[in-house]
Amino acid sequence: MPSIVPNSTWVAPPTPQTSSSCTEEEGHKTSIYTPIVISSTPAAASSTKPAEVYPPAPKPESSKPAPVPVYTPPVDLPIYSKPADTPKPAPSSTKEAEKPAPSSTKEAEKPAPSSTKEAEKPKPTGSYSNGGHIVTKGDKWAITYTPYAADGQCKTAGDIKTDIKKISEMGFTTIRSYSTDCGVFENVVPECQKYGLKVIYGIFLEGGGAGGKGPFSSYANSQLEDIKNKAPKDSVAMVIVGNECMFNNNCQASELGSYIDYVRKELQGAGFPKDVAITTTEPVGTWEEKGAALCDHIDVFTVQVHPYFTASIAAGMAGDFAAQQLEQAAKVCPDAAAKGKYITEIGWPKSGMSNGLAVASPENQKTAMKAIMEKVGPESCVFSFQDDTWKAPGALGVEQYFGCADAIY
């Protein structure tokens, strides 16, 4: 059993100043998304099993005024769940936000590294992989991309052009965008079109339900309208409704499921292909604890896996761990997983503190990303294209250093 290690703290970037790459249509000025500070309550912990928790994120200090609030993507990194044969923990009645506990996994249960890599590389399977929306190239599929500069402001159109060109040259076929701000449709999507890249679009949900920023709110619906009105229909890889919304206690499964159905109806009514998957994504433990109620509402199964935050996983074990976690989580919704199962965030930091066997360094990042790409690359959206230096360093000092372009270029 690894010792308890504080997990990460994620914060939103400072509100970007208005720039040429942060444009808004006149009709959306009252519903531009606001910066998010993610906090969460822990998953349950028994007397023998550590909990899946991490501390609330402090708000970043910024002396810059925010003329227009802008939505920023959530990027919480969870502690991942127990091995497949471990009982699920009971719900906890206490909150231990300052004492996150990494999970453990059994060495004997890890699949052995393959000596015939090419033959054993996973290939996306299921009906949603056959419509031309999920496109892979060798061991690569997708990478997360946010158009933020080092200071959290919107990148220039020129910088975005350089980034998207590099992503294409790296061999990725798809980017994941968490939001529609900072020139996503003005600058990012046109460059993706130029290089034939698909886009995983996101509708982020906060708390408060329809009257706040949750499902069916104007906050959520304005993002949906952006996608309906601006997304090229041939560019959509999938749409993710709510990023770790249940983990962060911002959504109940029933309302999230209903909203996923609503998004699907609206997009198909607007002419988007019926084989574009509409889904949501959560950490492994959240799927196991709360996710069964969503199975009838999602088209494919997607999950967040970050090996570094499990203290018993060294860099070279990241690929086997990811494959095991994907299979374990997918058992929650087997019908959806049969149509397609994917990891929507996975990476390794290049700098920061050690977390048991998980050591953050440039060498270990290269080792981990190589293992990840070999084992689950065609099913994974790697995190992230660039370092996010505008973030707080977090409890382990790693939050700014998940940029992996140089590790897998």
Q: Which residues have a Cβ under 8 Å from the Cβ of 341 and sit 6 or more positions away?
A: 126, 300, 301, 302, 303, 326, 330, 379
CB 145 within 8 A of CB 181: no
* HEC letters along 240-303: EEEECCCCCCCCCHHHHHHHHHHHHHHHHHCCCCCCCEEEEEEEHHHHHHHHHHHCCCCCCEEE
Which three-class secondary structure state does DSSP give residue 311?
coil
Cα–Cα distance between 401 and 404 in angstroms, integer?
8
Q: Which of 52, 345, 374, 399 is catalytic?
A: 345
CB 77 within 8 A of CB 8: yes
Q: Which of 186, 191, 206, 244 is catalytic?
A: 244
CB 49 within 8 A of CB 85: no
Cis peptide before 40 (omega within 30 of 0): no
Which three-class secondary structure state does DSSP give residue 28?
helix
The two three-digit tokens of residue 197, written as one number? 């890249």
- Neighbour tally for 375: CB within 10 Å: 26
- Neighbour tally for 314: CB within 10 Å: 18
345 catalytic? Reply is yes
- Neighbour tally for 87: CB within 10 Å: 9
Cα–Cα distance between 12 and 87 in angstroms, integer?
34
Which three-class secondary structure state does DSSP give residue 24?
coil
244 catalytic? Reply is yes
Burial of 306 (0-12, 13-18, 19+ CB in 10 A): buried
Residue located via tokens 């000596």: 115
The two three-digit tokens of residue 38, written as one number? 């993610």
Taking the alpha carbons of 331, 335, 339, 345 in that order, is the dihedral positive or negative? negative
Cα–Cα distance between 253 and 258 in angstroms, integer?
9
The two three-digit tokens of residue 92, written as one number? 């906890």
Amino acid identity, position 284: V
- Active site residues per annotation: 244, 345
